[in-house]
Every structure is written in C-alpha cells, then in structure tokens.
Amino acid sequence: MRTFPIFVSFDGRPPLVVGGGQLAAVKARLLLKRADLVDVAADALAPELATLVNAGKAVRLEIRPGIDEIRGRPLVISATEDEDEDARIAAIARDLGVPVNVPDRPALCTFALPAIVDRGEVTVAIGTSAEAPVLAQRVRAWLEHELHPRIGDLAKLAGSFRARVAEALPDGPLRRRLWESIFDGPAAKAMLQGDEDKARALIGEEIDRAANAEEDRKGSRRGRVLLVGAGPGDPELLTLKAVRALKAADVVFYDKLVGEGVLELARREAELIPVGKAKGAHSVPQAEINALLVARAKAGETVVRLKGGDPFIFGRGGEELDALRADNIAIDVIPGITAGAAASASLQIPLTHRDVSHTVTFVSGHEAGGKAPSFEHLDLTALAAGNNTLVVYMGVTTGAVISQRLLDAGFREQLPVIAVENASRANERRVATTIAALAGDPEGLGLRSPAVLIFGEVAGLPHAGAVETILSHQEVARAYA
C-alpha cells in the first residue's frame, strides 16, 4: 500500500473506532493524543475502553455501524478482530470516501497509522506503507532521542508571534529568513533551555530588526546567491551547510550531474530549474546562467546555484562569481566533495601516501571546445619522476591521448591507472589498467561520464570492492608466459 503523509483535523465529527476489545482500546488511545473525543461502536467494552467512556473521553455507540454512523467521519478504524465485520466496515467507508484502517489487513486500508513522535505542537509521523511497522518503531525511538523535549514549546511560542511577523514583513523570502534566524539563534536556544521570557524578548528584537531593515531596503531589495557544491552524487556526502542552503532556497539552478536525491533536499516550494551542462552538451550557455543568477537575486530571492562536486574545481564557479560581483550581488560559497576525493574514498586508496606519492595534481581531461589537453602549463617530465598522483576529470574520451602524452613525457608504461565512473553512487563502476594499455586502446575503459582517472602508484595500492581489469596484449602475453 503506497501512502502519502498528511495530518488530519479532528475539529468536526469525532473519529470512529469499531470494536470493543483491547486492540480497539489501543487505537482509541492513539487517536486521543489529538482528538478531544472518540466514538466507539461495540457490544461490550474492554476495561480500558470502559474507563475512557466513564472519563468522558469516549462515547459508546451500542449499534452496528452503518452508513449514517460512518458518513462524515475524519477517519474510521475497524478493530473488531472479526474478518467479515471489518471487511463490511471497510467497504462502507470506502464507498463514502471516509479514510479507513483495519489493523494488520492492509488490503482493506486506505490509510496507515504511523509511528508517532509527539512533542506537542511538533508531531513526527513515520510510516513504511504498512510493510515494516517494527522498522517504523525503531525510527521513532531514534527520533525520540534526537528531538529536544521542548521543541513543541518552541513551535507554540513561534505561533504566538505569527500575526506580529505577518504585520511586520511581507510573505516570502524575508519572512522565511527571519524565522530561520530565530530558530537558528539565541531565541530558540533560550526557549529550549526553558527560559520563555528571554526567548520572547529575543524574538521581539529579531522582528523589530527585520522590520527596520525591510524599511531601509524598500525600493532597492536584493537577494543573494549561494554557490553550492552538490558533491559527487550521494546525498549523504552533502555538507550540513549545503542542506541548509537548499532548505532556504527560493530557486535552485542545478547542473546535469546533480543527483536526484540531492534535489529532494531542497525546500518543497523552491523552483527547480535545470541548466544541465556536461562535456560537449551545454544546454544553457554560461553567459545565460550568469544572467539568470543575477536577475533572480535582483528580484530579492535566495538563489542556490547547485553544482556537481565542488564549485571551484572544474565547475566554472569562478566565472559565476565574477558575474555576481560585477552586479554587487551578495554571495556565499559552500564547498562540496569533489569527484576525485569521492573516488579515492570509495576505493579506499589515498591520493597521497608518504611512501609512494607526496603530491596530487587535479587536471581537466579536455580544453575549451572539447579538445584533448596539451598540458603546456604542467612540467610533465618532473611529474614523471614519481611521487605524484594525477587525477584527471572529464577524461573518458581523451584518456588514450592523455596516456600517450604522459608516456612521451617519461611516465613508465606499467604505471597503474584506475578509472571510476559515478563515484559514490549506486551505479559506480571501476576499471583498473596501465598507462600503456590505455594509450593503446582508446575504447578499452568502456566507461561514460562522469568519471575520473587516477594515474599514479597509489592506483596500485590495495583497494576496497570489485575493480575490472584491462590489460594490453603484451601484458596478457607476459601474464601467461
């Protein structure tokens, strides 16, 4: 059963529990966490249900529920533990469009009861589409430990200021930034420590400051741009600061190499705009991207420019930085894990090692226009002397040419090379070879972008996980000689 999480209001007709046993009592007790009253339809009541009726928290209906008793309910739980009766109740509720749950019979349910973390005004519901309720309970236990006991009090306090905030600031980015400042700052800390008076005073000061700043900005309002490194693709490799940036964004301009899991962390209301760029396939020219960033920031929005890897390592972040500075746009730069580092971590081989590599050099595998790199800016002969690791980005199609240039500069033929496609992602693939084998077979790797190539003695160190091996004909002959 696939479900969509929502929160149901109990302000109207009470929810209905059908059944009088202990299972029905458990469900009634759960509903009473938010409902003022629960109706219970049963011939006889278990002691706990009888206690709820005597306390005025439940009303007993001594009839077999039909259409009139089910119509208009916010939800119905049928826990009679009688298969035929539960099926009858479920059928009526479905026909009336009333959400219905039958414990342990997902085929009869239109909603699932979640595991709940209750912090007053803050409620967290955990569901597994009725597939693994014990797992949901384990997640609940973890959240119970992680969520501050007073976080619900903080939410209630914030609610008492909503009208004042609405009067002071227009809806949109400025109001959201104020709340972010409140929840990240000393006001929230004071409330979580139990000092409500101090928290109220601090929130009032925050609102006044924001309102005064808004008056000063009227007519010349500007937003900001955050250049954010999305890392190699695994959402868990994002920095905490990058996640906060995505949660604050009004609009996100993202590259082709940004993983879907990363985009799912963006604020739900954020506008997501692809400006996909990949080697040889620039769907949006860089100048146009720059203009979009400037225009949206000038409109007062919080703009996230989400770039694969790190913005400043072969990401053209420097060009975007220049364009933004030229228009006096406020900028934040949030670094990301670059693909070379992700490949190294996944393989568990170091890019530098005291015994075999003292330096690491990051280079691009192509120049402007897609041409193979000349490496005129590098002293390849010096690098060939050893104790260096060369990490090549965007070098899948030019790997053979690069290898030949390295051989011409004096790199030894059997120097190990490892190429990693989609580093850190579920579809990661690794291929081990040598410079000579790669130079002799341009198509030998069989990889696609995005991929990085690691040249150096470190590529021959013990690694973690499976790696395909590509050898030259001469190496194969030697291996079987």
Q: Is 256 helix (H, G, I), strand (E, B) or coil?
A: coil
Where does the pLDDT of residue 2 fall: very low under 50, low under 70, confident under 90, or very high at 90 and above?
confident
Structure tokens at 452: 């990085």
Give the catalytic positions in this structure. 255, 277
Tens digits of per-residue pLDDT, 7-58?
999 998 999 999 999 999 999 999 998 999 999 999 999 999 999 999 999 9
User: Whose structure tokens read 């309720």?
Assistant: 133
Average pLDDT over residues 50-79: 95
Between 322 and 385, whose confidence is greater?
Answer: 322
Which segments within 319-407 are labelled E, that is strand? Answer: 330-334, 357-364, 387-393
What's residue 448's pLDDT?
A: 83
Between 110-119, 126-135, 214-223, the lowest mean confidence (pLDDT) is in 214-223
Separation of alpha carbons 312 and 454, rounded Å = 20
Indicate if the pLDDT at residue 259 is higher than 80. Answer: no
Any idea which residue has 């620039």 for tokens? Answer: 282
CA distance 107 to 94: 12
CB 16 within 8 A of CB 37: no
CA gap 199, 189 in Å, rounded: 8
Q: Are 453 and 391 in contact (CB under 8 A)?
A: yes
Using 50, 70 and 90 to split pLDDT, how confident is the model at 481? very low
pLDDT per position as a tens digit, 160-169? 999 999 999 9
Percent pLDDT > 90 in the chain is 69
pLDDT tens profile 187-210: 999 999 999 999 999 999 999 988
Q: Tell me the residue type at 235.
A: P
**Rounded Cα gap, residues 130 and 382, in angstroms:** 62
Helix/strand/coil for 203 = helix
Q: 105 Cβ partners below 8 Å, 6+ apart?
A: 83, 86, 90
Domains identified in the chain and CATH numbers: 16-113 (3.40.50.720), 151-217 (1.10.8), 224-337 (3.40.1010.10), 341-479 (3.30.950.10)
Instruction: Provide the strand spans (E) within 168-246.
Output: 224-229
SS3 141: helix
| CA–CA separation, 331 and 337 (whole Å) | 20
Say what the pLDDT of residue 1 is: 58
The torsion angle over the Cα atoms of residues 280, 283, 285 and 288, rounded to 10 degrees, is: -170
How much is the average pLDDT of 472-480?
A: 50
Q: Kindly report the backbone phi and psi dihedral angles of residue 22, in degrees, each rounded to the nearest multiple of 5, phi listed first.
A: -70, -35
Rounded-to-integer distance, Cα 367 and Cα 473, Å: 31
Whether 138 has a pLDDT exceeding 60, the answer reads yes
Quick one: DSSP state of residue 348? T
- pLDDT for residue 137 is more than 70: yes
Do 259 and 230 touch, CB atoms closer than 8 A?
yes
The pLDDT value recorded for residue 365 is 87
Residue 280 has pLDDT above 60, yes or no: no
Distance CA 109, CA 90 (A): 7
Structural contact between residues 49 and 40, judged by C-beta atoms closer than 8 angstroms:
yes
Residue 94 pLDDT exceeds 70: yes
Specify the 3-state DSSP secondary structure of 225.
strand
Asked if residue 373 has a cis previous peptide bond (ω within 30° of 0), the answer is: no
Query: What pTM value is reported for the model?
Result: 0.71
Residue-level pLDDT at 377: 84
Residues in the chain: 481
C-beta of residue 202 within 8 angstroms of C-beta of residue 190: yes
> Residue 277: its pLDDT value, please?
60
* Alpha carbons 432 and 339: distance in angstroms, whole number: 17
For helices 151-160 and 196-217, give the axis angle rounded to 10 degrees: 50
376-435, pLDDT tens digit by residue? 888 899 888 888 999 999 888 888 999 999 999 999 999 999 999 999 998 999 999 999
CA distance 199 to 193: 9
Digit-coded pLDDT (tens) for 153-162: 999 999 999 9
Which pLDDT value is given to residue 128?
A: 87
Chain centroid to CA 213: 32
Q: What is the mean pLDDT of the chain?
A: 90
pLDDT of residue 480: 41
Considering only 128-132, 229-233, 328-332, 456-460, which range has the smallest mean pLDDT? 128-132
Query: What torsion, rounded to 10 degrees, do the Cα atoms 384, 385, 389, 390 define?
Result: -20
What sign does the dihedral 8-14-15-21 (CA atoms) show? positive
